[in-house]
Every structure is written in C-alpha cells, then in structure tokens.
Structure 1
Amino acid sequence: MATTQHSSDGSTDGVAADAQSDATGIDRGEVFTLLSNQRRRYAIHYCKREDEPVELGDLAEHVAAWELDKEVDGLTSAERKRVYTSLQQTHLPTLDRADMVEFNDRTIELTENVSDLEIYLDVVPEDSIPWSTYYLGLAAVATVVMTGLWLEWIPTETVPELGWATIVIALFAVSAIVHVVQNRRMRLGETERPP
C-alpha cells in the first residue's frame, strides 16, 4: 500500500508514493518480500505450470522435491510434512493476503494479480551474467568501434563505415531477440523445474 508523505508545510508528496508502488497499487517492498522466499517462488511456479487449482498435498510434494533435488517418489513422509506444514501455515496465507492466490480448504488457485510479479523477476542462470551487464559490455564495444571509425583508426577498405554500423546494430538486435526468448523460457511456470 502506498503511503503519502507530508512536507514541512503540510502538503502531500505524491511523487514518493508513486515511486513506491506500481500501476496496480502493489507495494514494491511487498512484492520483493513475496519473491524473496524460494518456497513461495516454487509454489507460484508449480501453480502456474499446472494452470488450474492445485491440491496442497501435490504442491507440497513438488516443492519439497525441487528444494531437496529429489524425485517426488524419493521423498520421505517427514520431508513432505515439513514443506506441507510450512506452506499451509506461512507461505500460502502470505500469498493469499497479498491477493496472489486463493487458498481455500487445501486448494490453491492463482489470481490474476500474480502476473504483476513477472516484471520483478530477472532470473539469471548460475553460468551466465545479468543482461544489464551484457548490454553494458556490448555498448562499450560499440562505442570503441564507432569512435575508431570517427577517428579513422579502423580501416574501412574491407568493411565500409555503413557495414560497421550495420554489424553493431545487428549485434544489439540479435542480443535483444535472445534476451526475449530466454526471459520467456525462464518465467515461473514455463519449465518442468523452477528456474
């Protein structure tokens, strides 16, 4: 929920309130709190993947299997129960209060509001760099190339200036396409296991 700040003269500062919440009114701090817990992310992933109301027992089994890097059949009853209890008593009520799920009598269903969480997730696989760092590096390379062309340090006999510019633009275009495809693949609910 957005808060209104008052200045010393008693007027309200709506800019600060707008900066803390997105267009839907969901407080960014609350969104980050919801997403900061792996078990809640796994629960959302499973529900999105199933795309229908799910039973708490099924959800708990899959979340436990993902957390312990096991198959569902390999879980012990204690492992299932620990995750089941945690989801039932803590995580699902938290998601329900935030209006991300409807949690009724051991059945969980995502609400439309859960789609608002996607913009806050930039999943970066362990063996790669964040896209923001990649684009910064690409921009640095493009700057060096373009500066070299302006200062005539780069020969233009084999590749004309327009060719170099086309190469730089093509690198950005290909990178953007790969970025979009990877982001779609890495969204919660898009893969068998959570990203």
Structure 2
Amino acid sequence: MVQLGRADTDESLVSRDDVYGLLSNHRRRYALHAIKQNDGPTELSNLAEQVAAWENGKVVHEVTSTERHRVYTSMQQTHLPALERAGVITHDNGTITLTEQATDLDVYLDVVPGNSIPWAEYYLGLSAVALALVAAVWVGVFPEWIPKLAWATLISLLFLGSAAYHVYQNRSMRLGEADRPPEVRE
C-alpha cells in the first residue's frame, strides 16, 4: 500500500493498482510534470495549454484553441478530479496545487530510455565482470607487479561511477525535473 491521501474517504492508503491506474494516462503524467515545474499553484488554463503543446509536439504559442479546449475539458472533467481524489493535488477555482503526497509517485515512474538497458541487468553484468576480474587476479592471470588492492579499487570505482550515473539519470527522468516530460524527450 502507498501512503496517499484520499479527499473523499478517511482511507489514507491507496493500493499499488490505484497508483498505476492514476499514472496510466499520459495527460495525468503530463499534468503532474507541468505542475511540478512551477514553484507554486498552477492555473488550469496554463496547464491545459502546456499539456496540449506536449501532446501535439508544438511549442505553447503554436497550440490552437481547439487543441487547448480539448485538453482543458478533459482535465477539468476527468483528470484533475482523479488526481484530487487520490490526494495528489488540490483544485480550487481553476488553481491547482500539488500536495506532499505527489512526491510519493516518483518511485512508480522509473523510466528506461529506449536506447538503454534496465539498470538491474546492467548491475548484473557489472557484477559478473567484477567476479571474473577477481577470479583472474586470484589465479594469477595478471602480472604480479600490479597490487591486488588496485583491482579492488578498480571494481569499487566501477560500481561507484555506475551508481552515481544511475542516480543522475533517475533524477533527470522524474516528473517535473526537465522542460518536457520524460516520455516526450527525444
């Protein structure tokens, strides 16, 4: 269970399925991304315009009134009420504000870029390489003049560098961290 508030019930726990359902729609993900980019409350009209721009691959000033209206209507009638029921936002007279519970959603958005391998597979491969290196040092494949501590340092640096890059990439893929949502970046 995930600790998210519910505006319409006394329950404070939302099932994992509910969270995935909440994030299953790209407009809700885009909306969360846009709201997180602002330091404070966001106006529904500005939000609809930004989401319409991302959906249509345009800059904001090129969005037509039809595109903006279509997003505005679905946000107002469907998506914002769903986010508010989950306790992720508050919506009052066209002004949307994130709640503290919105940060709990980031863990469900581990985006793996299309040209990348999943991190679990990467670390499995890195561990296999490290184990092979340790075995090679143990049986004396490498020259004696290279200290064994140098190999341990090399392995540690490989894992440290990989972990640092992993943290950097995960932070850059969070909603609200970049100009555009992770799934629309090129």
TM class by shorter-chain length?
Answer: 0.7 to 0.9
Distance in structure 1 (CA, Å) of the matches to 2:146 and 2:66: 66
Q: Say whether residues 1:101 and 2:89 are aligned partners.
A: yes
Partner of 2:148: 161
Q: Which has the higher contact order (CA 8 A, sep 6+)?
A: 2
1:56 aligned partner: 44
1:135 to 123, 140, 161: 123
Task: Determine the C-alpha separation between the residues in 2 that align with 1:22 and 1:107.
Answer: 26
State the Cα distance separating 1:51 from its structure 2 match: 2.1
Q: Indicate the residue corresponding to 1:180 in structure 2.
A: 167
Match of 2:112 among 100, 103, 124: 124
TM-score (norm 1): 0.83
Q: Once the two structures are aligned, what percentage of the paired residues are identical?
A: 54
- How big is the alpha-carbon RMSD for the aligned residues of Structure 1 and Structure 2? 1.6
Q: Partner residue of 1:26?
A: 14
Q: What is the Cα deviation at residue 150 of structure 1? A: 2.7
Give the ranges of 4+ consecutive aligned residues of structure 1 lying more than 6 Å apart after TM superposition: none
1:149 is the counterpart of 2:137: yes
The CA distance in 2 between the partners of 1:176 and 1:37, in whole Å, is: 30
Structure 1: stretches of 5+ with no match in the other structure = 1-20
Unpaired segments of 5 or more residues in structure 2? Answer: 5-12
Q: Distance in 2 between matches of 1:124 and 1:61?
A: 27
Change (3 A) 1:156 1:31: farther
Deviation of residue 98 (structure 1)?
A: 0.4
Confirm or deny: 8 A CA contact 2:30 2:51 kept in the other structure: yes
1:151 Cα deviation after fit: 3.2
Partner Cα distance (1:126, 1:158) in 2: 43
Q: Secondary structure at the match of 2:14?
A: coil
Q: In the TM superposition, what is the alpha-carbon distance from 1:22 to its structure 2 partner?
A: 3.6
The one-letter amino acid paired with 1:174 is G
Determine the C-alpha separation between the residues in 1 that align with 2:72 and 2:146. Answer: 63
Q: Is the 8 A contact 2:88 2:102 kept in 1?
A: yes
1:81 CA displacement: 1.1
Q: Is the 8 A contact 2:41 2:95 kept in 1?
A: yes
For 1:135, the aligned partner's letter is Y
SS of the equivalent of 1:40 reads helix
User: 1:158 offset after TM fit, Å?
Assistant: 4.8
